[in-house]
Structure 1
Amino acid sequence: MLIVFFFFVIVSTALNEHEDDVVARLELVSLLLEEKKEDEAICVLAPPQDSELRVDPTLDTGKPWWTDEKVNIKLSYIYKSKGLTESFVETIFPLVSETLFLKTIQRKRIGRKKKKLSIKVLHERVQVLNELNSDTDLLKFRPFASDADIAKAVRAKKLLEKQETEREEKRAAALAAGVEWQSDNSDDESRGHAYREPPMPNLLKDGEHLTLIVDLSKALISLQRFREALELINSSLKLAKNTLTIEMQEELWSLGVQIAYNIDGPANVWYCARHIVNQNPYSFAAWNCYYKIMSRSRLDKLKKFLHENLSKREDCVPPIVIKGHQHTMHREHQEAASYYLKAYKLMPDNFLINLCVGSALINLALGLRLDNKNQCVLQGLAFLYNNLRLSGNNQEALYNLARAFHHVGLISIAATYYEKVLGIHQKDHPIPKLPNEGTKVNSDLKPGYCDLKREAAYNLHLIYIYKSSGSVDLARQVLKDYCSL
């Protein structure tokens, strides 16, 4: 303990004498953290209050100590350990964002960089024109140069004239401003955009830095800064594709999908949702995530992606069901029934698929162009009874069956099933949540949101007040018992 104290005194003295010594600051902070003095460590690493006044852009005094990469990373992790999420983000996010931006710009420049011809090569090409004008005109010979070489020479001559004009303009502007002009005769290849060093050059190489990106993304989401988190995730996945571990990539993809639940119309969440489905093509939960995201935006990409999956994986049920849903939305019940029946062949014991097939056949039977309507109704009711059996005679299945009988005009049978719905007490269940949708419970829901008694009672009272029934008093009693507040 005494040795630590003396070492602490030595480091503090060195820091007072050499304020810009980053190593001394980090050593002092390590000692303070060992003694669990986080507040004192923050004071050592935090930028001074007059940090903006201390930086003089006219003097080349080097980079201030508070802008050092190691200082900011250490300070951000101290904030994170203390639960100061906002301070953690404000400390490290500007540096990470600027680094990713510069890396992206540099990659774009490298990708679209074109090879430029040097002045020496341009002069060699122009020499072809000089030889043609001096010899061939006198001897009346056809020029030995090809048409392509002559065209290159003409372009080179124009480019040299343009460069000469630009140099004359710069010289005139320099003389008018009273500045000494220096000619720049270097080749175009040597002239380029000034390279600026990113504040965190090892951000996409070191494992600790990559973990920092994941933690920063989570912190931005917790602060509801979804747009910034999405830009950070997308840039990291593009730039660090070869250095991120599989677990980190999956976590970033998952965070991107989570952001899609919280913002409307994201521009590039499509890639995150598509990745989740490609990783789990036979998962209903993955397809639910995907469809919930894409239902907020254009459906063109969704149609193309569905077509690709239907052609690749003919035994994959979720895209078949979604395709049937799309036809149902457009009231194309025959096409919807065909897709639902394909899904039924692959998964006959799924109660949702039986419900979809039954409802599609019932709607198809009510069309005008169908000849065997009675057979179609019986087939639809058979699938609905199958749904009732698979769901364990629950309230929802009984209500769907009663609604089908009501829809086709079998009033007496519909009333029987509506009465069965009224006789069942349905408990409230938590609304299913998709992956990464959070565990927050919706407190706006009133008790009884899973109970279908009100809907059944209202439809039953419509049956009772028909002229053929005439039970007006019974209809009023049903509304009073189940639909009154």
Structure 2
Amino acid sequence: MLEDRSKASRARKLLQKKAALKEEKKAAALAAGLDWHSDDANDESEEEHFKEPPLVNLLKDEEQQDLIIDLCKALESLERYYEALDIIKLALKSGHNFFPVEKQQQLRSLGAQMAYYTMDSKHGFDCIKHIVQQHPYSITAWNCYYKVLPRSGKCYSRHCKFLRFFRSKHKDCIPPIVISGHQFTVLSHHQDAAREYLEAYKLLPENPLINLCVGTALINLTLGHRLQNKHQCIAQGLAFLYNSLRLCENSQEALYNIGRACHHVGLVTLAVSYYEKVLAMKEKDHPIPKLPNENWDHAVENHKKDGYCDLRREAAFNLHLIYKKCGAMDLARQVLKDHCTFD
């Protein structure tokens, strides 16, 4: 305690000594008829001259604007993403007063897509955030946002803040609610996820995806140790899954989801019946959704083989696990031979 006081006293005396020395220098300078300039004065710095950027009129011409957009597309086709991204950043920064709104959105869409390939999380997040703000109810914009989000890395905290702000401003917008539910699901916070999904269900009850999300969240919630009435929760979860089955008109995917849910909670008899229904159906391939300005080759690179929408192999594998656990080894081998053998 005494040592701290002595240090404070020495510091105070040093400041007083410096102030006295400064006053002496000021008095001497004024006595000699000179102007007094303090060494630590920052307000009298030299005036900085504004340098006009080169080619200031370049971005005012519509043909030059189209040329920049075409150049970015050409660089994207050559997979020179970083160079195209630098041009987009510079164009948006320097030409925001000259570019029309449509072309700015086109550049931001290109920037978000290329940021996905280059892992440029900051610029990609800024671009897609602006697109979502301009089109808050566009499913395509939110699909692009959610595609860039997993690559955002350090921007995750900014994403959470943006999502909270956006939901407070657009309370009836469903995609951010569903995204929040997905985040809780990834963190295994199934009760919070179910709350978010039910909030979306209130706004859009006839959507099969939302019914699927609510059902899976409730099914996952039953596996926790804190829930008391698990049977009721399972029944509620299956009710949402059956509602999704109705909305999907008994599709193969909806049947598989119910079978997988029953398998998950140990209702193997029901699971077997639904897996067998899946095996009796053949689902045709559907086109993969394409985002704006997306390079199609990258989107379908992992789905070149036919049958990527068919779930019979997944159902057969799960069915063989049930047979194997029950001791029916011959049935398990036969199911694998019939449905999981490559030609």
TM-score, scaled to structure 2: 0.83
- Counterpart of 1:370 (choices 222, 227, 230) is 227
Q: Deviation string for 1:365-396 (max 9, x for gaps)?
A: 11110111111000000000001011111111
Aligned twin of 2:191: 334
Q: Deviation string for 1:17-60 (max 9, x for gaps)?
A: xxxxxxxxxxxxxxxxxxxxxxxxxxxxxxxxxxxxxxxxxxxx
Aligned twin of 1:479: 336
Aligned twin of 2:305: 446
Cα 1:384–1:253 shift into 2, 3 Å: same
Q: Deviation string for 1:173-224 (max 9, x for gaps)?
A: xxxxxxxxxxxxxx955x869x6873x3421333332232222222222222
Aligned twin of 2:239: 382
Aligned twin of 2:138: 283
Q: Deviation string for 1:418-475 (max 9, x for gaps)?
A: 11000001112222222221344736522222111111111112222334xx433222
Identity over aligned pairs, percent: 55
Cα 1:301–1:196 shift into 2, 3 Å: closer
Question: Is the 1:328–1:336 Cα contact (8 Å) retained in structure 2?
Answer: yes
- Counterpart of 1:417 (choices 274, 293, 298) is 274
Aligned twin of 1:461: 320
Q: How large is the Cα RMSD of the aligned pairs? A: 2.7
2 CA distance for matches of 1:443 and 1:484? 23
Question: Is the 2:116–2:124 Cα contact (8 Å) retained in structure 1?
Answer: no
User: Runs of 5+ in structure 2 lacking a partner?
Assistant: 1-23
1:202 aligns with 2:85: no
User: Runs of 5+ in structure 1 lacking a partner?
Assistant: 1-125, 136-151, 160-186
- What letter matches 1:292 in structure 2? K
Q: Deviation string for 1:139-177 (max 9, x for gaps)?
A: xxxxxxxxxxxxx93506x88xxxxxxxxxxxxxxxxxx
- What letter matches 1:475 in structure 2? A
Question: Is the 1:402–1:418 Cα contact (8 Å) retained in structure 2?
Answer: yes
- What letter matches 1:406 in structure 2? H
Question: Is the 1:202–1:209 Cα contact (8 Å) retained in structure 2?
Answer: no
Q: Deviation string for 1:221-250 (max 9, x for gaps)?
A: 222221111111111111111111122212
1:155 aligns with 2:10: no
* Secondary structure of 2:325 counterpart: coil
| Mapping of residues 291-302 of structure 1, within 5 Å | 291-298=146-153, 299-302=156-159
Question: Is the 1:465–1:472 Cα contact (8 Å) retained in structure 2?
Answer: yes
* Secondary structure of 2:274 counterpart: helix
| Mapping of residues 105-184 of structure 1, within 5 Å | 129-130=27-28, 133=31, 153=36, 155=38
Aligned twin of 1:246: 101
Aligned positions, number: 311
| Mapping of residues 184-333 of structure 1, within 5 Å | 188-189=46-47, 198=54, 200-298=55-153, 299-333=156-190
Cα 1:281–1:196 shift into 2, 3 Å: closer
Larger Rg over CA atoms: 1
Question: Is the 1:274–1:290 Cα contact (8 Å) retained in structure 2?
Answer: yes
Cα 1:327–1:188 shift into 2, 3 Å: closer
Cα 1:213–1:368 shift into 2, 3 Å: same
- What letter matches 1:129 in structure 2? A
